[in-house]
Copies of this chain bind each other. A is one copy, B any other.
Amino acid sequence: MTPQKTIERLILYSTILEKLLTSGTTCVFSKQLAELTGNTAAQVRRDLMFVGYTGNPQSGYTVSSLLESIRGLLEPERGISIVLVGVGNLGRALLSFFVTMQSKFTIIASFDNDSHKTDRVIGGFHCYHVDQMRQILTNTYVQLGIITVPASQAQAVADRIVDAGVKGIVNFAPVPIKVPADVYVENMHITMTIEKAAYFSRSKSVGERFDG
């Protein structure tokens, strides 16, 4: 079993280490990294055990080489290749974000089932019809599919992505999707997350009156 939470935090550490590197910091202690990422020093050290990188009691960790070690663990040889399905508002926002970003993410293509959108360049990438997915991806390795279609179509789209041989999905549609055991799904349920935040923010306001 690979520790999900540890991987999440390692990704976070790597973004912070990038900043430290840019700002010219050469060394960092677990305590500092903890402070910068909102964790505890013990947590940081435990996470780094997984990476295998080892610091020393006098200077802590060398920023550049720790970053390299984490990247070695997290990153593929080449960037992360992605197809995005569903070129609505959210899909387009993500696409233009990927275009702008000097990024480790490479968009291979986008897909939609609306003929007003297909066979055009949208958000900087060619948009194909979903029916063409399997064919287009036949000789192309794609690491992730991003689903940004309405809930009603999410499962059908997931099926096609799986059918095209993609082993990872990030699902923005507000429904669970079913996939074979050899496909990894990460859900980004935006509205559900907002509801969750609303719930817990209310418990934070205990004692306050809501007279707004």
Residues of A within 8 A of B (CB): 2, 4, 7-8, 11-12, 15, 36-38, 74, 76-77, 80-82, 89-90, 92-94, 96-97, 104-105, 139-144, 146, 166-170, 174-176, 178, 182-186, 188-205, 210-212
Contact = CB atoms under 8 A, between A and B. Distances in A.
Contacts of A170: 193-194, 197
Contacts of A203: 2, 184
B201 A143 contact: yes
Given A37-B176, A197-B169, A141 B212 contact: yes
Contacts of A193: 170, 186, 188
B199 A167 contact: no
What copy number does this chain have within its complex?
2
Nearest to A188: B193
A175 B204 CA distance: 22
A159 to B, nearest CB: 16
13 contacts: A7-B196, A12-B176, A12-B189, A15-B192, A74-B195, A80-B198, A89-B93, A93-B93, A144-B194, A167-B201, A183-B204, A184-B200, A186-B200
Most buried by B among A194, A196, A210: A194
Contacts of A2: 200, 203
B141 A210 contact: yes
A204 B178 contact: no
Contacts of A197: 144, 168-170, 184-186
A80 to B, nearest CB: 4
B89 A212 contact: no
A167 B198 CA distance: 9
Contact of A89 (B76, B96, B178): B96
A193 B195 CA distance: 19
